[in-house]
């Protein structure tokens, strides 16, 4: 008992330090019936860093994110999230882990019977005992941050695709998780809207120290997020500027193909890779 509490204490301390591993995949495998989706996938997400998962559609990117949140169970391998064995936890135990995970689903997955306000505040309204006034304030704050304050009373069906994506981001960040998982948050958006969504991801990462896993097959957005950073100016204004070399290295790319990781490295390494499959992906 005593030993256990000491151990968790150390685990917590380690997770608080910079450079702590917040998400770890260790030889993860998953198959749907006889279709192998993840053959052997291992990677580590460091606190405050960005992991970009690339891959053709059907390569298992969404599946990997769902494993992180515990929505799917890996057939084999170990999955750590914030020091907890997600692969072993029961649904009840997973609820604690999920308190620190913000997931943006591929198509947004907004609750279409609820308003934008109710969607964004969903977890706070339904799963916490916070005073309503505080929740309302937080929802308005988040929607302001994401630039959708005037749409607070609308239903999701009244929003454009880009707005729905941003509401999904707002819903995931409303309860201040320290890890955000974006599943193709910019796919299908025009370049300008995509950039505003990218900027939100950058701001969350650099201003709130959120660790992120970004799933995409749009390289433009992947490179943009990896190579930019958000800075708060003296007057409080936030600007997204070109990242320093050091900051750039905090974003790591991995490429999935046939259930395996065929590339791992930073933006520069990806750009200069000689692998024919990656080259065809880049062009």
Ligand X SMILES: Nc1ncnc2c1ncn2[C@@H]1O[C@H](COP(=O)(O)OP(=O)(O)O)[C@@H](O)[C@H]1O
Q: Which of 168, 9, 54, 163 is nearest to 104 (CA)?
A: 168
Q: Given the DSSP bridges, would you call strands 50-55 and 228-232 parallel, antiparallel or unpaired? A: unpaired
| Total chain residues near ligand X (CB under 6 A) | 10
At its nearest, how many Å lie between other proteins and the CB of residue 204?
17
Taking CB under 6 A as the criterion, the residue among 55, 70, 121, 156 binding ligand X is 55
Kindly list the distances between the CA atom of residue 1 and the CA atoms of 6, 94, 127, in Å, as whole numbers in the listed order: 9, 22, 30
84 Ramachandran zone, left/alpha/beta (phi>0; psi -120 to 50): beta
Residue 59 binds to ligand X (criterion: CB under 6 A): yes
Instruction: Give CA–CA dist 38/252, Å, rounded.
Output: 19
Q: Which stretch binds ligand X (CB under 6 A): 53-61, 187-195, 228-236, 245-253?
A: 53-61
At its nearest, how many Å lie between other proteins and the CB of residue 50?
20
Of these partners, Mg ion, ligand X, other proteins, none, which one is at the site of residue 55 (CB under 5 to 8 Å by kind)?
Answer: ligand X
| Total chain residues near other proteins (CB under 8 A) | 21
Q: Which of 244, 218, 215 is nearest to 231 (CA)?
A: 244
Residue the block writes with tokens 């009373």 = 153
Applying the rule CB under 6 A, the residues between 177 and 236 that interact with ligand X are none
Can you give the binding site for other proteins, defined by CB under 8 A? 66, 69, 71, 91, 95, 98-99, 101, 103, 105-107, 109-112, 122-123, 126-127, 171
Can you give the binding site for Mg ion, defined by CB under 5 A? 62, 106
């Amino acid at each position: 008992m005593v030993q256990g509490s000491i151990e968790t204490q150390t685990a917590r301390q380690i997770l608080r330090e910079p450079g702590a591993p917040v998400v770890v995949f260790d030889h993860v495998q998953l198959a749907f019936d006889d279709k192998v989706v993840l053959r052997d996938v291992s990677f580590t997400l460091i606190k405050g860093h960005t992991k970009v998962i690339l891959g053709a559609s059907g390569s298992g990117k969404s599946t990997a994110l769902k494993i992180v949140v515990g929505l799917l169970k890996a057939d084999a391998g170990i999955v750590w999230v914030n020091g907890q064995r997600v692969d072993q936890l029961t649904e009840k135990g997973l609820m604690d882990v999920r308190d620190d995970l913000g997931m943006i689903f591929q198509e947004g997955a907004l609750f279409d019977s609820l308003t934008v306000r109710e969607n964004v505040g969903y977890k706070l309204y339904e799963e916490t005992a916070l005073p309503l006034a505080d929740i309302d304030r937080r929802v308005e704050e988040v929607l302001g941050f994401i630039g959708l304050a005037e749409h607070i009373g609308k239903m999701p069906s009244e929003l454009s695709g880009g707005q729905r994506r941003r509401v999904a981001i707002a819903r995931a960040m409303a309860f201040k998780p320290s890890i955000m998982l974006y599943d193709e948050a910019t796919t299908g958006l025009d370049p300008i809207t995509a950039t505003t969504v990218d900027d939100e991801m950058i701001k969350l990462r650099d201003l709130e120290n959120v660790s992120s896993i970004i799933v995409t097959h749009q390289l433009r957005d992947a490179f943009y997020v990896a190579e930019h950073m958000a800075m708060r100016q003296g007057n409080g204004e936030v600007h997204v500027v070109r990242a320093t070399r050091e900051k750039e290295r905090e974003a790591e790319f991995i490429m999935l193909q046939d259930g395996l990781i065929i590339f791992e490295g930073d933006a520069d390494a990806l750009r200069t890779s000689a692998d024919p499959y990656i080259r065809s992906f880049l062009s």
